[in-house]
Amino acid sequence: MELLVIGLDGLSTNMLDRFDIEPEYINRVLENGASGDLMSVDTPTTLPAWTSFATGKDPGSHGLTNMIQQASDYETSPLRTNTTDAAAYDLIDDALFVNLPASAGRVPAAEDTHLVSAMLAEDEEDAVPSHLQQLDAFEDYILDHDKSLKKNPQTYFDHVCDITRARRDFAAEAFDEYDPRLGFVLFSTPDWAGHLLSNFSDDETRGRYYRQLLSVVDTCAQDLAERADNVVLMSDHGFERKHTNIHINDFLHQRGYLRESESSVSAANIAVQTAKAIGKRSSVLYEKIRQLYNYIIATDVGQTLQEAAEPNIDYRNSKAWQLRYGCVFINDKRFDHPAVDDPDALRRQLQTELADLTDDDGSPLFRDVLLAEEAYSDPDKRAPDVIARPAPGCYPTLLKSPTGGYASHTNNFNHRYNGLFAAMGPLFAEKTTVETPSIVDVLPTIMAVLGMPLSPEFDGKVIEAATADEYSVEYRDSDTIPHPQIRTDSDQGARDEAVQERLEDLGYLE
Site residues, Zn ion (CB under 5 A): 9-10, 46, 191, 236
Answer positive or negative: Cα dihedral of 422, 425, 430, 434. negative
Nearest residue by C-beta to Zn ion? 46
If the CB atoms of residues 170 and 192 are measured against Zn ion, the closer one turns out to be: 192
**SS3 call for 260:** strand
Shortest reach from residue 237's CB to Zn ion, in Å: 5
CB of 119 to Zn ion, least distance (A): 9
Calculate the alpha carbon distances from 268 to 158, 301, 324 in Å: 32, 8, 22
Specify whether the CB–CB gap between 158 and 166 falls below 8 A.
no
CB nearer to Zn ion: pick between 11 and 216 = 11
Decide whether 44 or 384 has the Cβ nearer to Zn ion: 44
Q: Please report how close the Cβ of residue 227 comes to Zn ion at its closest, in angstroms.
A: 24
Residue 63 C-alpha from the chain's centroid: 14
How near is the Cβ of 419 to Zn ion at its closest, in Å?
8
**CB closer to Zn ion out of 184 and 286:** 184
Cis peptide before 55 (omega within 30 of 0): no
Query: At its nearest, how many Å lie between Zn ion and the CB of residue 418?
Result: 13
| Residues 26, 104: Cα–Cα separation, whole Å | 29
* HSE toward the beta carbon, residue 449, CA cutoff 13 A: 29
Least CB distance to Zn ion at residue 214 (A): 16
Beta carbon nearer to Zn ion, 9 or 250: 9
CB of 42 to Zn ion, least distance (A): 14
- With a CB cutoff of 8 Å and minimum separation 6, the contacts of 26 are 8, 16, 218, 221, 233, 422
Give the whole-angstrom CA distance, residue 293 versus residue 77: 25
Residues 296-305: contacts with CB under 8 Å, at least 24 apart: 297/507, 298/147, 298/150, 298/151, 298/196, 298/199, 299/150, 299/151, 301/268, 303/504, 303/505, 304/266, 304/268, 305/268, 305/271, 305/272
DSSP H stretches of helix in 262-405: 267-281, 283-296, 300-309, 343-355, 372-375
User: Rounded to the nearest whole angstrom, what is the least distance from the CB of residue 236 to Zn ion in the complex?
Assistant: 4
Query: Could you tell me the smallest distance in angstroms from the CB atom of residue 249 to Zn ion?
Result: 24
For Zn ion, the closer of residues 85 and 191 by Cβ is 191
DSSP 8-state class, residue 454: B
| Residue with smaller CB distance to Zn ion, 67 or 386 | 67
Residue 393: which residues within 8 A CB-CB, separation 6 or more? Answer: 240, 241, 242, 243, 244
- Cβ nearer to Zn ion, comparing 242 with 290: 242
Distance from C-alpha of 15 to C-alpha of 9, rounded to nearest angstrom: 13
Residue closer to Zn ion by CB (options 236, 441) is: 236
